[in-house]
């Protein structure tokens, strides 16, 4: 990047007002909700490979998670994770209430509605827990690797954090949601396949990540390093 950036630590970044942070957080939450609502429970097969349909779009939330951590620091990424967590809980609550409402006489869409929006408690619990754990692992690894590499080799951080974050996500989601519903072979196959595909997606999207990170850092004029950051998921959030 040709523009000189001001290096600031994570605590200063958490207290700073950024121009584009709110837009990134809104995109992060929107993609998270849509990928879980539309694609989480569908098995698809292409070219002989079986995978969960949500794999096509859910990894974009991890790319945005990487961008948020790299550009705005762990503390701000933590705010986004908690915001997404709360949004997923509300989505689950709203779906439960709406599906449970008695259908009007003459309306014949209840069965289809339940099929689309009536996720079981297992899928809801698996989605929320896997997202929370996986995203925090992803952001933690991303931030720590930035310190270790001195801000160099962004590709190593994006791919490395995804290796760990998506592993935690998949190890929680598929067994909790589908063990005993799908065959054990299906659970293991989809779990491993989706993890590998998510990492591959991250690698393929590396040029996009570089472009977005470079653009945002130049616009914001800072480069946040998480020196002295409290990495607990439950640490008190600083106001942005």
Q: What is the pLDDT of residues 220-240, one digit of tens each?
A: 999 999 998 999 999 975 544
- pLDDT digit string (tens) for 116-173? 777 778 888 998 999 999 999 999 999 999 999 999 999 999 999 999 999 999 999 9
- pLDDT digit string (tens) for 184-203? 999 999 899 889 988 998 89
What does pLDDT average to over the chain? 88
Which pLDDT value is given to residue 240? 42
pLDDT band at 41 (very low <50, low <70, confident <90, very high): low
Residue 24 in contact with residue 33, Cβ under 8 Å? no
pLDDT band at 31 (very low <50, low <70, confident <90, very high): confident
Range of the domain at 136: 6-40+53-102+110-225
As a whole number of angstroms, the distance between CA 85 and CA 47 comes to 34
Say whether pLDDT at 37 is over 80.
no
Q: Which of 9-23, 58-72, 100-114 has the lowest mean pLDDT?
A: 9-23
pLDDT band at 52 (very low <50, low <70, confident <90, very high): low
Whether residue 189 is contained in a domain is answered as yes
Compute the CA torsion angle 159, 37, 178, 123 (nearest 10 deg). Answer: 110
Which pLDDT value is given to residue 13? 67
Domain tally, the chain = 1
Whether residue 21 is contained in a domain is answered as yes
Sign of CA dihedral 102, 91, 60, 136: negative
Whether residue 1 is contained in a domain is answered as no
As a whole number of angstroms, the distance between CA 153 and CA 136 comes to 21
Whether residue 197 is contained in a domain is answered as yes
Whether residue 238 is contained in a domain is answered as no
Whether residue 151 is contained in a domain is answered as yes
Strand pairing class (49-52; 43-46): antiparallel
As a whole number of angstroms, the distance between CA 80 and CA 22 comes to 9
The model's pTM: 0.87
pLDDT > 90 fraction of the chain, expressed in percent and rounded: 59
As a whole number of angstroms, the distance between CA 191 and CA 175 comes to 8
Whether residue 188 is contained in a domain is answered as yes
CATH of the domain at 79: 1.10.1760
97: its two tokens: 């209430």
Which pLDDT value is given to residue 40? 59
Which pLDDT value is given to residue 39? 66
Please tell me what DSSP assigns to residue 20.
Answer: S
Whether residue 114 is contained in a domain is answered as yes
Say whether pLDDT at 219 is over 50.
yes
Which pLDDT value is given to residue 49? 73
Please tell me what DSSP assigns to residue 6.
Answer: E
Q: Spell out the residues 6+ positions from residue 151 whose beta carbon is closer than 8 angstroms to its own.
A: 223, 225
């Amino acid at each position: 990047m040709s523009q000189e950036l001001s290096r600031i630590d994570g605590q200063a970044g958490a207290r700073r007002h950024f121009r584009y942070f709110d837009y990134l957080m809104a995109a992060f939450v929107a993609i998270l909700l849509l990928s879980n609502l539309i694609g989480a429970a569908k098995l698809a097969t292409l070219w002989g490979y079986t995978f969960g349909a949500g794999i096509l779009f859910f990894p974009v939330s991890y790319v945005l998670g990487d961008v948020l951590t790299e550009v705005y620091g762990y503390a701000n990424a933590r705010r986004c994770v908690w915001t997404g967590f709360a949004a997923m809980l509300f989505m689950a609550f709203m779906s439960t209430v709406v599906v449970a409402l008695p259908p009007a006489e003459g309306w014949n869409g209840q069965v289809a509605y339940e099929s689309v929006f009536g996720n079981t408690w297992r899928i809801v619990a698996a989605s929320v827990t896997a997202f929370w754990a996986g995203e925090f692992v992803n952001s933690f690894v991303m931030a720590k690797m930035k310190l270790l590499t001195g801000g160099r080799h962004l590709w190593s951080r994006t791919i490395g954090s995804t290796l760990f974050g998506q592993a935690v996500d998949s190890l929680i989601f598929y067994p909790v949601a589908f063990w005993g519903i799908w065959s054990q072979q299906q659970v293991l196959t989809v779990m491993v396949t989706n993890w590998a595909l998510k990492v591959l997606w991250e690698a393929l999207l590396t040029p996009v990540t570089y472009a977005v990170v470079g653009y945002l850092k130049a616009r914001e004029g800072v480069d946040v390093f998480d020196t002295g950051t409290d990495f607990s998921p439950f640490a008190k959030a600083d106001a942005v």
